[in-house]
A = this chain, B = another copy of it.
Amino acid sequence: MNIPVNLPLTRKLSTFVALSKAELALLDHLHQRNRFFSAGRDMVHQGQSGQAAYVLMSGWVCSYKLQPDGTRQIVDFQIPGDFLGLRSVLLRTSDHSFEPIVDIEAAEVLTEDLLEAFAQTPRLATAILWAASRDEAMVVEHLVGIGRRDAVVRIAHFLLELGSRLALVGLGDTKGYDCPLTQYHLADALGLSAVHVNRVLRQLREAGLVTFREGHVRFHDLDRLVKLADFDPAYLDHAGPLLK
């Protein structure tokens, strides 16, 4: 049996559970119905029901909510290995919209597939609950960020969090990572104006901490940036498998 262990979701869940061959095969099986979506067109609309969940295999997606006044709040960005709309399937009505930021590939996952996989191995259910908990911890961090952090700390924290998440699935390291986000994305995620984001990014660059330009984030002085942002990655839980 030939099992690809380099699927991003598999890499991610391996952080939490030392996966058996059977569990790897089950995860592989969840990646059978691959779909392609184009940048800029919503995959799932807020308020839509009956839609599927996906596992993102390549590319970036943003999830957002539109406010009655037309402004949008970006809730989070999804990177390879993340679920798209798992919450929406479970809660039946999507509480937010998903928009691919670049062209993406994603595997469709049906509720039956999940139930079937859970029935075969409760460890996988726990691992997916872990991933959902980690997603929630990130939203909590963003909540705290918008509630209490100033713009410089908020942006520094955000760039570090993304770097840490991407490194987990092999898409970045301590030097930096490719990033297709615009300053408008950052603004809508962090509750700032694009002009403000631009000014803060210049400050961070001129301070010799980090450069975000032409689709790439480069860390110049990771230690000082971590200190500035008071970034403690414990909530991302990358300490190695809890379930052996």
Contact = CB atoms under 8 A, between A and B. Distances in A.
Interface residues of A, number: 53
B139 A136 contact: yes
Contacts of A234: 47, 91-93, 95
Given A137-B95, A146-B143, A130 B65 contact: no
A134 interface: yes
Contact of A73 (B95, B125, B144): B144
Given A67-B148, A142-B143, A143-B143, A125 B118 contact: yes
Counted per complex, copies of this chain come to 2
Interface string A58-96: 000000010111010101000000000011001111011
Nearest to A143: B143
Max chain B CB contacts within 10 Å: which of A16, A93, A126, A135?
Answer: A126
A95 B236 CA distance: 9
B191 A147 contact: yes
12 contacts: A73-B143, A73-B144, A75-B143, A75-B144, A91-B237, A92-B234, A95-B141, A143-B146, A146-B146, A146-B147, A147-B191, A148-B191
